[in-house]
Chain A
Amino acid sequence: MNEPDPKETTKPESSRRQFVQIGVGSICVGCAGASVFGYEFLAPNVLYEPSPITNAGKPDRYPGGTVTQDEQSGIYIVHGPEGLYAMSAVCTHLGCLTAWKPELGIVACPCHGSKFRRDGSKIEGPAPRPLVWLKTWLSDEGDLLVDRSSPLEQKQYVRT
């Protein structure tokens, strides 16, 4: 009589297992949904950041052989022998804003001491790469436009 009836014990056991399976399953689905939901919520869809395209004015503002720094937009406009080009003033090391040193004729970063030539090439580290050249073109009105979000792979010059 003490021997339990197998039929009687199987039924509650299987329903308990089912309950745990469904429970754990729905908790997993819920967690996955919450992760996606949380990620989507945390990533802003609209950014109120300044436009990456900067109007640098008329090209004749930049005489030959000069390097002009625009601190607001963080770019250099350089007028070299081949023409005008724009570089990002953001250091390729950890993103500090570099500065043009006219007395030395170099670009230097205040944070960790990287130095660059006026074409962006590296004089000394810790920056791993040269300064980034930016897409530059003339608008229909004859203004020099620079897109800070479009790095150039190869050097391009704007001739006027």
Chain B
Amino acid sequence: MAGLLESNFANLRETRVWRSIFRGGWGDTNLHRALVIQQNVFLHLSSVKVRRRALSWRVTWYLGTLSLGTFAILVLTGIPLMLYYHPSVPQAYTDMNDLRFVVSAGVFLRNLHRWSAHAMVLLVFAHMFKVFYRGAYRPPREFNWVIGVFLLLFTLFLSYTGYLLPWDQLAFWAITVGSNLISAVPLVGARIRFLMLGGNSVNANALLRFYVLHCVVLPLAAAVFVAVHFWRIRKDGGLYLGEGQHHG
């Protein structure tokens, strides 16, 4: 049975379609293993080879991977939620309640989105602390630390903009308070608040702006920075393993 499966798979790998998709060919050599990574647009951001120690739980606690995982969950649950949610003042709150009580699996998707968002903020902070206390931000990885700071900010902005969307009392007053904090910026604070809210108070324009930021602008920006972040891990010599551990 297993032999039959194996020979069928071997035949499949010889087909023209398979070879047009996976051009690296097939084999147990180091070259073929490297080509699997190098010739895939997603995998090629990562190193062709990693040290065994870099895969151990103790080095990273997998916090970066877990952050990416929550981000993936948030994208996958966020898109279906968009299908029932209208970012308008009369509908936003009732749509949110429909998702909770009327839409099949709506409450599951919404709660998964909400809890993953909380988890992502926690994991990104934990990831930053882990990197900081291990000293993994030091040269040659200082640029990737800066990228990471931007990713932390994107995470917080995503969390903040998503907070308004249920359009309940908690959301409204939290964004009122948050936008008034921004107007404390010297000289341009009131201007930034006006542009952010699209008006003088938290209203229809603010809801629509936060929705666009939350669903389009910030996720795209985060995805681009995540790609650079991963690529830089490879370019900076892989994950940081500690002083003098890289050549041992």
Contact = CB atoms under 8 A, between A and B. Distances in A.
Contact of B204 (A48, A94, A111): A48
Given A43-B194, A48-B204, A96 B199 contact: no
Interface string A81-114: 0000000000000111000000000000001000
Given A44-B205, A49-B203, A111 B173 contact: yes
Interface string B28-41: 00000000000000
Interface residues of B, number: 15
B181 A44 contact: no
A44 B198 contact: yes
B177 A95 contact: yes
Given A43-B194, A48-B204, A95 B180 contact: yes
Given A47-B199, A49-B200, A96 B205 contact: no
Contacts of A43: 194-195
Q: Is the interface of B mostly helix, strand, loop or mixed?
A: helix
A96 B175 CA distance: 10
Interface string B189-223: 00000110011110111000000000000000000
B60 interface: no
B192 to A, nearest CB: 11
A39 B200 CA distance: 16
A42 interface: yes
Interface string A41-72: 01110011100000000000000000000000
12 contacts: A39-B195, A42-B195, A44-B198, A48-B204, A49-B199, A49-B201, A49-B203, A94-B177, A94-B181, A95-B177, A95-B180, A96-B177
Given A49-B199, A49-B203, 7 more contacts: A42-B195, A43-B195, A44-B199, A47-B200, A94-B176, A94-B177, A94-B180
Interface of A: 39, 42-44, 47-49, 94-96, 111
